[in-house]
Structure 1
Amino acid sequence: MSYHAQTGRSAPLGATVYPEGTNFSIFSKYASAVELLLFDAKDHSTPLQIFRLDPDNHKTFYYWHIFVEGVHEGQLYGWKIYGPYAPEIGYYFDGNKLLIDPYARAVVMDTYEREAARHPGDNTAKAIKSVVVANGSYDWEGDRPLNHPYSHSIIYELHVGGFTKHESSGVDDKLRGTYRGLIEKIPYLQALGINSVELMPVQQFDPADVPDSNLTNYWGYSPIALFAPHTGYASTDDPVGAINEFRDMVKALHRAGIEVILDVVFNHTGEGGADGPILSFKSIENRAYYMLDEHYHYRNYSGTGNTLNANHSVVRRLIRDCLRYWVDEMHVDGFRFDLASILSRDEAGRPVQNPPILWEIESDPVLAPTKIIAEAWDVQQYQLGNFVGDKWAEWNGAYRDDIRRFLKGDQGMTQIAANRINASPDLFGKLLRDPNRSINFVTCHDGFTLNDQVSYNQKHNWANGEDNRDGHNDNHSWNCGAEGPTKDLVVQQRRMRQVKNHLTLLLLSQGTPMLLMGDEVRRTQRGNNNAYCQDNELSWFDWGAVEEHKDILRFTRELIQLNLKTPYFQEQFYWNSPKALGGSRCQFGGVRNNHPDWSHHSHTLSYTLKNRGYPYRMHVMVNAYWEHLNFQIPKPKGGQPWKRIINTAVESPNDILSFEDAPVIRGGGVYVNARSVVVLVDGQ
C-alpha cells in the first residue's frame, strides 16, 4: 500500500488524526533533513514507506511537518533526523537511528534492543516504534476528577506492576502486574480506607535501562515517551488498547472514590549521558532538550547522566502539553514531580527565583483542579520549604527523617518532632500555605519499607550487583536488637510496637499522610533500600501477608478512619493559628502535662488537641524512651472521663479501639510502656 502526502501543518505537534489522514509535526532547529517512516503493524523491522521532508515545503520555522492521507489510528511510525554528529559542540544527530516522537501517545517495543541504540549503525529494525492515536474516542461514561482536598486525602504510593505481580495476588496470570490487575484489587484499597493512589512512573520507560543486563528497570524513573502509558503494564499487545486499559483503571478507581496521582519524571530521560542510547530527544535537538555545560558535556543534576532542560521554551511547552494530556485525555487527578528542584534551574543549570515552568504549571487553568506535589530537591540543592508558588505541595522528607530519629531514640529530636507533627511550620509556615500541603511520610519507594526500617541497621543491596555501594547509607533505622529476620520474641514484639508507633504518628499529625504500598502488612525487601532494579518477589506485594499480618492491617485501617473522621486532621490552617476554624489548639507537653521537655536528652512528647467547636479533645503521649514512664494527663472536662483508644504496647484487638469500646481512664496519670504511644479522647 502506498500513501500520498501533502505539506501538512506545524501544529499540533506529534501525530494528529483527521478524517482524511494524519498530520505529523516535530521540532528540530538544526536538522538538515528529516524523514518520516511508516511501518506495517505486523512487520516492525522494515519501513512500509519513507517520506523525506523537503525543507522548502515541509518546514515552518523550526517545525517539520507532513500530512499523510489515509493514515489513521494504529499506524506505526518513527522519525529520522539528519544533521551534524559532533558531541564536542553538543550535536548528536544520527540519521541511522529511528527516533520516538516526543509527542507519541503510544509505542511498540516488540523488537527493541537497547544496545542497537547505543552503538553506531542503523537500528531501524530493532528500534521502538511510535503509534498514531486518535483523541476523544474513549467512552468515559461521565467520569470526572474527584478533587479531594488535601485536608481529606490519604495517599498510598503504589507500583502498578508490583501490586499484583506476585502469584499470591489471586489475579489471573494474564492480568498480574497490569492496569487491569490493579482494578481487581480496588476492593482492598477501599477497605484500607485510602482515597488517593500515587502511581510510581507509568510514562513509558525502558526496562533495560540498568547497569546489569541480568536486572530490570523496575521503578521506571527513566522515561522515553512522556505521553505514552507504559506498555509493560498492559494485558494486551494492542498499543491503543494499552491506553484504554489505563483509562479503565482510572475510571474504576474514580468509581471507588480513589484519586489517581502520577509520579512524573520531567528531570531526565532514559537516554543517559554521552555513552547512552539515542532514542529520541538526543538526535532531535540535543542542545534544546538537555542542559549542557560550557564544554557541551551533560549537566547531571539528576544523578542519571542527563538533565532535561525544563526551562527552554520548547521543553516547557512539551511539559505543559504532556500534563494537559494526562488530565484531559487520561483523567488523572494530580502529579508528583520527581526531583522537582531541577525544574527551578535555568538553561545554564542555575537555580532561579521565579522559574517559568513552575509558574506555568501552577497558573495553567487546565491543571487548576489537580494536585501538584514537588519532591523539592535534586542531587545538588534542597528546597524543602522554599519551593515557589501558592499551589505546590511538597514531599516532606524532613518529616520522614525526624520522626524516624525521634522514635528510635536519637537525642535532641523532641522539639523537632513536635514541629513535624504540627505540619512543619518551621519549614512551611512562611509560605502561608494550607498546612496539608506538607505531604508527610515515614517511608516511600526510595529506602527501607516500614518493616525493614525497624529490622535492619544497615542496607543489604547485594542483589543489585553494585557491591552494596548503591542506596542511602544513613536511613535512621534501628533493628530493635537483631539484624534481619529473628525468632527472638522480645525483638519481634519491639518491632511490632515500633511499626505501630510510626503509623500512629503519621496518621495523627497535621498534614497529608502518605503510606507506602505494603507497609500496612509489613512488606519486606529483606533490607534492600534501593530496589529500583528488582522486578521480582523482593519488591512485589506478597498477598499472603494480608492474612499473616492481619493485626497490623486492622490497626492501619482503624488509624486511617480515625484520621478521616477527626476534625483536627481536616483543618486548613495550622493548629494554634488565629485563622483556624474555632481556634484549634495544640498544646505540647512531656511527662508533665503542658510542660514540654525540649532538652537534648528528652525522649518524651505529649500533645493535646482541642477546639471549642468540637465535642472532644484528643491527648497523645509518645514515650520514645527505653523505660516505662508515667505521663500526667489533662483534667477531664465537663465530667466526661478520658478513654484510651490507642496503646501500641498491647496486642490486637486492644491496641486500637472505637470510642464506644475504649476503657475509661481514672486518675491523673497514664502508665506508658517503653517505646510506645498512647492516645486518649474525652467528651464522648
Structure 2
Amino acid sequence: MRTTKKLMAAVLAVCMLASTSVVSGFAATTDSEPVSADIAADTTYTKACEAIDNEYAYTKRDLGATYSPDSTTFKVWAPTATEVSLNLYATGSDTEEGAEDIGTFPLEKLMDGEKWTGVWTTTVEGDLKNQYYTYTITAANTTGTKTTTKETQDVYSVATGVNGKRSMVCDLDSTDPEGWENDTHVLLDESTDSSVWELHVKDFSYDPASGVSEANRGKFMAFTELGTTLNGEGNISTCIDYLKELGVTTVQINPFYDFQSINEMGSDSQFNWGYDPQNYNVPEGSYSSNPYDGNVRIKECKSMIKALHDAGISVVMDVVYNHTYSNDSCFQSTVPNYYYRMTKTGLFSNGSGTGNECATERAMYRDYVIQSLLYWVNEYHVDGFRFDLMGIMDVETMNMAREALDAVDPRITTWGEGWAGGDSSHPTKTCTGEKFYPATQANAAKLSDRIALFNDAIRDGVKGGCMSISNQGFAQGAKTSAPDIRYGVRANSSGRNKWLASAPSQCVTYAACHDNATLYDQILGSTGLASYGVREATAVKMNKLGGAIIYASQGISFMLAGEEMCRSKDGDTNSYKSAATLNMIKWQNVVDYADVVSYYKGMMQIKANFSPLTCMDKSYQDAFTFNDTQRTYSNQVAYTISNNTEGEWSKLAVIFNSADTATDVTLADTSVTDWVVIANNESAGLDKLGEVTGSTFTVPAYSAVIAVDKASYETAGIKSDMGKVVVNYVYESDDEKLDDSVVLQGSIGTGYQTSPSAAIPDTYEISKVEGNVTGKFGETPAEVTYYYKDYVPESILNADFNGDGNVNVMDVTAMQKYFVGDIQLSDEKVAGLDLNYDDAANVADCTMLAKQIAGYRVAEGTVVVNHYYVDAEGNQQQLTASETIVGRVGSDYSTEDFKVVGYAADKDNYPAKASGKIPYGATLEVNYNYIESSLDINLHFKHNGSLTWAPTLWIWGSDLKGVDKGNYTPDDSAEWPGVAATDEDGDGWYEYNFTYRGAGTYNVIVSNKGSTQTIDYKGFVDNEMWVVIDDSKLATEEFLTFYTDNPETNPDAPIAKQITVGK
C-alpha cells in the first residue's frame, strides 16, 4: 500500500495547487462544421493525471494476456487500483450453452526493483486458449475523491466474446486464414495516387441484388466471394469484382473494430455506422458468422482484408480514438477519469458531441493509440487509417503515430477530420511538456504533411453547405462557390481558403462521405428536380460535374461508395442508425446509372495519367493558369495545367460550367491552339472525343470539358484499355433524339447492360431496340439504339366501334353516326366512347380519334392544380403556386390540398375531380378553395437521452410569399436566443404555445440557451407537434425529429411535413 499512498498524496497536492485558468480561445472552424471551443486549462484533473504519468507511465509491450500453451500471463495497468482479480469463464456470456465460471485469481503488483510499475499481474498455468476473462478492479479516480469496484474486459483485449464484455485468451496464429502468410500490404508510392471509395461492411453486400450468398450478406466474408454479379445473373459485376472494374485504388472502411451499439445476439437487420468504440483492437462481431466465438471474427476480418489485397486494393481503416461509446467503458473501469478529459467542474469534456472525449495527450492513452495502430498494421495488414474527429486529438500524438507507422512503411496512409464535434477541454501541455495543439485544420502546418485533412471547403463548394440538404453548391449553379472550387483544385495548398494545406498530400479532396447527404441526394434536395432516388437528367449532369471537379483536382481523391452511381439514402442526412435497407448500396444502380459509373471510371483514368494532379508536393503549384482570380464569383471555373513529366501530356485544359445553359469559354492561356477533347458532358477517359481549334470551348450546361494539347496527346500515345458502348434514344418517326446519348465503358471482356432512358416521359414507349442490350465490352465500340413511338391510350386501342376488328377512319364515322342518332351501339361500345377521358362522350372524342389516325400525338394530357383563398378585401388570391401534372392520357392522377397555418381546405367546396384520369385536349383544372382556420400552435419537446436542459426556442413565421414575418418567442421584439419551453407537469415534455398572426408557415431553432444550436427547421404548418431532441446527435445541428402525434403513445406517429410557400 505504500506506493498507492504515495500516489494519492501526490494527487492531493496537485489538487490544491492546480490552476483552472483558460489560456486559449477558439479552435479553427468552418462555416459547415460544428463551431467548437478549444479550451486549454490546467485543472485539478489534468494535474492529477500528470502526476500519474510522471510516476507510472509504462513502456513495455506486454500488457493484456500473453498466451502460450503452457501458461498465460495477464497484466493490467491500473495505478490507482487497490485490488485487482482475474475472472475466468468458459464462454463469452452467461446465456451460452456450457457457460461456467472457471475461477478467480488475485493479481499482484509488478515491481521494478523497489518501484511499483503501476501494473498488476498474474500467471495462470495450463492451456487457457479460447477461455474468456475479465478483471474485477477496485480503484480510486485520479483525484482520489471516489473509489469504485467494477468488473470489466481488458483494455488490451485482442479477442472477445459476444457483445465484447469478456475478453478471450487468443492464439492469434490460429486465426490466420488460408494463404495469410502470403498476404502483403497494398501500398501506393504516393498517397495522392489514391482513388478512395468509402464503404461500410454491411452497406457493401446487404442488398440481395449484390449476388452475395444470403449467409454472407452484410458480413466480412462477403468480400471473399468472387465473381458476384447483379442478381446472380452472370453479367454485371458487383462487390469485389465491381471495385476492380471501377478502378479505385483504395477502400476506406467505416469502423470495423468492436463497437457497442449493435446487439451481437440480435437480428442481422440491425445497423449502425460504428462510431461508438468498445474494444479498439477487436473486430466487430456482428460482421462475423459467429460472434460467440472470439476467433471467428478475427479470421473473417483478416479474410476480408486478404480478399481486397488479392484484388490489388489498399485497405484504410476508419478509427475513432477520440471517444468511446460511453463513459462506462473498460478504460473508465480500469483507471477512473484517467483516459478521459474532464472539465474544471468535474464533468466529462464532450468535444466529440457523444458525451466524452479521450485524452491523447496522456502518456498511456497516447501509447495505447500508437500501439493499436501498429497492431492493426502488423496483425491485420491494414494499409492506412482515417481518424474520426482528429481535431480532438493532439498534434504531438498524431505526429508520433506518423513516425511509428513510418518505421513500418512510410507509404502507410493517414488522414482525418481536422475538426471537433463540440467544446473540447484539455490541458495546456501534453505529457512530454510540449504545448498542446489540437490536430485541426488551423494547425495543419504543425502536422506532418503526410497526415491529410478532409477539405470541407471544396466539399461544400461542390454540393453546398453540408449542414442542410437545401444548400446549393457550384454543381447546382451557385456562383458564390466558385472560389472554393478554385482553391480546392490545388488542394487548398496554394492559398488559404478557410484553411491552408502544407501540400497536396495533406488534403483529402471530396464532395461527399458517410456523413450528411449523399452528393445526389443533396442535388435533389436543394433543387427539387425529382424525388430522392429518382433518375433525373439535370441532376445526373450535376453529379457528373461534381465527380469531374474532384478528379481534376490535386489531393487524395475520395468518394462515398456509390457516389459514382448516384447513390441515394432517400434524403437521410444522418443515417448512422437508419435501416440497413436504406443505407445499403443498391446494386441495380450500376445499370440504371451505368453512364455515370463510366464517367467516374474515365475521370479516374485522366487523373492517374497526369502527374500534376497526383503529385504530393507543391512542385506544380505554378503550373496552373486560371481564367479568373481565386475569389471571383462565376458559373465557370477554367484553368490549364502545364506538365513537364516525360511521356505524359504537356498541357491539360479544364473547364467547369455550372450555368443552366451552354457557355462559350475562352481560356486565359492561349499558348495552345489545337486541342483533343477527352471529357465532355457525356463521357470521360483517355480516348479522343473530338477536337477544338483555338482557345474557345463550348461547354454544355452543368458539365465539364477537359482537353489535351493535340501535339502531346498524339506523341504520348496514352490510350484507354476500355471498350465502349454508345446508347441512343430516338423517336422512330423522324430519328430525332429524345434524350442525350450515354456512353458506357468498361474493361474488355467484362459485361455491360443498357437500359431505357428514365428521362423520356411515359407518353412514349419503346417500339424496338437495335444492338445488343446486354453483352461484353469489346475492342470495337458498339452501339445500342432504343427507338420510341407515341403511347396510344387504351381507349383508342379499343375504339373499334364498327366491329371490323380494326381501328380506323370507319370508326370515326361510326361515332359520328351514333352521336346524330343514325345508328345504335351496344352498351359496351357506348361505355367506350369517352376516348379523351373527360367524362363525356361527344364530338371531341371523334376529333381525338381522327387525329390519332392522321398521325397526330394524342398521348399526352395535362392537369393543373390551383389553390385559392379570399383575402380581407374579398379578392381571390393564389395560396401557392399551381402544380402541373403531365402524363399519359388515361393514366391515374391524384391531388391533395395544401396546408398552411391560418387556412384549411373548404371541405364543403372540395374539387369534384381531386383524382381521376388524365384527359386529352383541354387542360383539366382542379381548384381547391380555402377558408380561415385555427392559428393556435402547441409544441412539445423532449430529450431521448439523459440530458434535461430546457430547450430555448426561436420561432418565426413565413408569410404566403415565403417572406419572414413575425416572431413568436414571444413577439416581434424578441431577442436571441428566444424563450425557454417549460415542463410544468414534470412529465419530461417541455411545452410552448403561441398564436400565429396572419397565414403561412412557421420555423424553429432550438438551442441550449444559445449554444448547441440546431439548423433552421423551416416550413411547419401543423397546429400541434411533438418534437424529440436526439441527445446523441447534438454535434450535427440536426438533432430534432418532429411528429404530429405523441411518439410515446403512438409508435407510428407521423413525421411532420415541411413545406415551401411562395416559390
Q: Distance in 2 between matches of 1:542 and 1:133?
A: 38
Range with greater deviation from structure 2 (546-555 or 220-229) = 546-555
Query: Match of 2:257?
Result: 203
Query: Does the 8 Å CA contact 1:480/1:495 hold for their aligned counterparts?
Result: no
Alignment of 1:399 onto 2:458: yes
Query: Does the 8 Å CA contact 1:292/1:299 hold for their aligned counterparts?
Result: yes
Query: Match of 1:378?
Result: 420
Alpha-carbon displacement from aligned partner over 1:292-331 (angstroms, at most 9, x marks no partner): 1223210110000011111111111211111111011111
Query: Does the 8 Å CA contact 1:166/1:543 hold for their aligned counterparts?
Result: yes
1:266 shift after superposition: 0.5
Q: Distance in 1 between matches of 2:669 and 2:397?
A: 53
Query: Match of 1:629?
Result: 663
Query: Match of 2:213?
Result: 172
Query: Match of 2:964?
Result: none
Classify the secondary structure of the residue corresponding to 2:353: coil
Q: Of 259, 263, 271, which residue of structure 1 is paired with 2:314?
A: 259
Q: Distance in 1 between matches of 2:204 and 2:350?
A: 32
User: Aligned in 2, Cα 1:575/1:428: closer, same or farther, shift over 3 Å?
Assistant: farther
1:445 shift after superposition: 0.3
Amino acid in structure 2 at the alignment position of 1:146: V
Q: Of 300, 318, 333, which residue of structure 2 is paired with 1:245?
A: 300
User: Aligned in 2, Cα 1:429/1:197: closer, same or farther, shift over 3 Å?
Assistant: same
Classify the secondary structure of the residue corresponding to 1:104: coil
User: Aligned in 2, Cα 1:302/1:564: closer, same or farther, shift over 3 Å?
Assistant: same
Q: Distance in 2 between matches of 1:91 and 1:217?
A: 37
Range with greater deviation from structure 2 (628-637 or 67-76) = 628-637
Alpha-carbon displacement from aligned partner over 1:52-101 (angstroms, at most 9, x marks no partner): 335599994311111111133311111111245x8997757233xx3121
Alignment of 1:325-404 (within 5 A): 325-344=375-394, 355-364=395-404, 365-366=407-408, 368-379=410-421, 380=423, 383-384=440-441, 386-387=443-444, 388-390=446-448, 391-404=450-463
Q: Of 526, 546, 557, which residue of structure 2 is paired with 1:513?
A: 557
Q: Of 485, 494, 497, which residue of structure 1 is paired with 2:541?
A: 497
Q: Distance in 1 between matches of 2:565 and 2:617?
A: 33
Query: Match of 2:1059?
Result: none
1:27 shift after superposition: 1.2
Alignment of 1:600-611 (within 5 A): 601-611=633-643
Q: Distance in 2 between matches of 1:284 and 1:450?
A: 43
Q: Distance in 1 between matches of 2:382 and 2:218?
A: 20
What is the number of residues matched between the two proteins?
596
1:617 shift after superposition: 2.1
Query: Does the 8 Å CA contact 1:33/1:55 hold for their aligned counterparts?
Result: no
Q: Of 26, 41, 58, which residue of structure 1 is paired with 2:76?
A: 26
Q: Distance in 1 between matches of 2:142 and 2:133?
A: 27
Range with greater deviation from structure 2 (510-519 or 617-626) = 617-626
1:104 shift after superposition: 0.7
Q: Distance in 2 between matches of 1:482 and 1:522?
A: 13
Query: Does the 8 Å CA contact 1:291/1:309 hold for their aligned counterparts?
Result: yes
User: Aligned in 2, Cα 1:327/1:657: closer, same or farther, shift over 3 Å?
Assistant: closer
Alignment of 1:161 onto 2:202: yes
Q: Distance in 2 between matches of 1:90 and 1:537?
A: 48
Alignment of 1:652-667 (within 5 A): 654-656=682-684, 658-660=686-688, 662-666=689-693
Query: Match of 1:466?
Result: none
1:480 shift after superposition: 4.9
Q: Of 98, 101, 105, which residue of structure 1 is paired with 2:158?
A: 105
1:673 shift after superposition: 2.3
Query: Does the 8 Å CA contact 1:215/1:534 hold for their aligned counterparts?
Result: no
Alpha-carbon displacement from aligned partner over 1:84-131 (angstroms, at most 9, x marks no partner): 5x8997757233xx312111111112xx5xxxxxxxxxxxxxx72111
Query: Match of 1:564?
Result: 608
1:215 shift after superposition: 9.9
Q: Distance in 1 between matches of 2:499 and 2:560?
A: 29
Amino acid in structure 1 at the alignment position of 2:679: I
1:410 shift after superposition: 2.8
Classify the secondary structure of the residue corresponding to 1:171: coil
Query: Does the 8 Å CA contact 2:599/2:685 hold for their aligned counterparts?
Result: no
User: Aligned in 2, Cα 1:493/1:91: closer, same or farther, shift over 3 Å?
Assistant: farther
Q: Of 671, 692, 699, which residue of structure 2 is paired with 1:672?
A: 699
Q: Of 323, 326, 330, which residue of structure 2 is paired with 1:268?
A: 323
Query: Does the 8 Å CA contact 2:156/2:281 hold for their aligned counterparts?
Result: yes
Q: TM-score, normalised by structure 2?
A: 0.53
Query: Does the 8 Å CA contact 2:390/2:439 hold for their aligned counterparts?
Result: no
User: Aligned in 2, Cα 1:91/1:541: closer, same or farther, shift over 3 Å?
Assistant: farther
Query: Does the 8 Å CA contact 2:533/2:567 hold for their aligned counterparts?
Result: no
Alignment of 1:619 onto 2:620: no
Amino acid in structure 1 at the alignment position of 2:441: L
Query: Does the 8 Å CA contact 2:490/2:621 hold for their aligned counterparts?
Result: no
1:43 shift after superposition: 4.8
Query: Match of 1:64?
Result: 120
Range with greater deviation from structure 2 (313-322 or 137-146) = 137-146
| Larger of the two Rg values belongs to structure | 2
Alpha-carbon displacement from aligned partner over 1:424-451 (angstroms, at most 9, x marks no partner): 1224999884413311110000011122
Q: Distance in 1 between matches of 2:324 and 2:361?
A: 15
Amino acid in structure 1 at the alignment position of 2:248: I
Query: Does the 8 Å CA contact 1:88/1:296 hold for their aligned counterparts?
Result: no
Q: Distance in 1 between matches of 2:304 and 2:109?
A: 43
User: Aligned in 2, Cα 1:384/1:430: closer, same or farther, shift over 3 Å?
Assistant: closer
Higher RCO, Cα 8 Å, sep 6+? 1
User: Aligned in 2, Cα 1:214/1:296: closer, same or farther, shift over 3 Å?
Assistant: farther
User: Aligned in 2, Cα 1:221/1:56: closer, same or farther, shift over 3 Å?
Assistant: closer
User: Aligned in 2, Cα 1:52/1:44: closer, same or farther, shift over 3 Å?
Assistant: farther
Alignment of 1:284 onto 2:334: yes
5+ long unaligned stretches in structure 2: 1-58, 226-238, 424-437, 464-472, 714-1063
Q: Distance in 2 between matches of 1:298 and 1:624?
A: 46
1:194 shift after superposition: 0.4
Alignment of 1:647 onto 2:680: yes
User: Aligned in 2, Cα 1:281/1:76: closer, same or farther, shift over 3 Å?
Assistant: same
Q: Distance in 2 between matches of 1:499 and 1:162?
A: 21
Classify the secondary structure of the residue corresponding to 1:246: helix
Classify the secondary structure of the residue corresponding to 2:367: helix
Classify the secondary structure of the residue corresponding to 1:455: helix
Q: Distance in 1 between matches of 2:659 and 2:145?
A: 58
5+ long unaligned stretches in structure 1: 1-8, 113-126, 273-277, 345-354, 457-477, 579-584, 590-595, 649-653
User: Aligned in 2, Cα 1:415/1:450: closer, same or farther, shift over 3 Å?
Assistant: closer
1:626 shift after superposition: 2.9
Query: Does the 8 Å CA contact 2:564/2:597 hold for their aligned counterparts?
Result: yes
Alpha-carbon displacement from aligned partner over 1:191-244 (angstroms, at most 9, x marks no partner): 1100111111011001249xxx99956100011101001111112343212211
Alignment of 1:397-476 (within 5 A): 397-404=456-463, 405-425=473-493, 426-427=495-496, 433-456=502-525
User: Aligned in 2, Cα 1:17/1:635: closer, same or farther, shift over 3 Å?
Assistant: closer
1:177 shift after superposition: 0.9
Amino acid in structure 2 at the alignment position of 1:102: V
Alignment of 1:587 onto 2:641: no
Classify the secondary structure of the residue corresponding to 1:219: coil
Identity of matched residues, % = 26
Amino acid in structure 1 at the alignment position of 2:447: G
Query: Match of 1:463?
Result: none
Classify the secondary structure of the residue corresponding to 1:141: helix
Q: TM-score, normalised by structure 1?
A: 0.81
User: Aligned in 2, Cα 1:107/1:343: closer, same or farther, shift over 3 Å?
Assistant: same
Give the structure with the higher percent strand.
Answer: 2
Query: Does the 8 Å CA contact 1:636/1:682 hold for their aligned counterparts?
Result: no
Amino acid in structure 1 at the alignment position of 2:184: R
Query: Does the 8 Å CA contact 1:21/1:72 hold for their aligned counterparts?
Result: yes
Q: Distance in 1 between matches of 2:412 and 2:492?
A: 23
Q: Distance in 2 between matches of 1:485 and 1:417?
A: 26
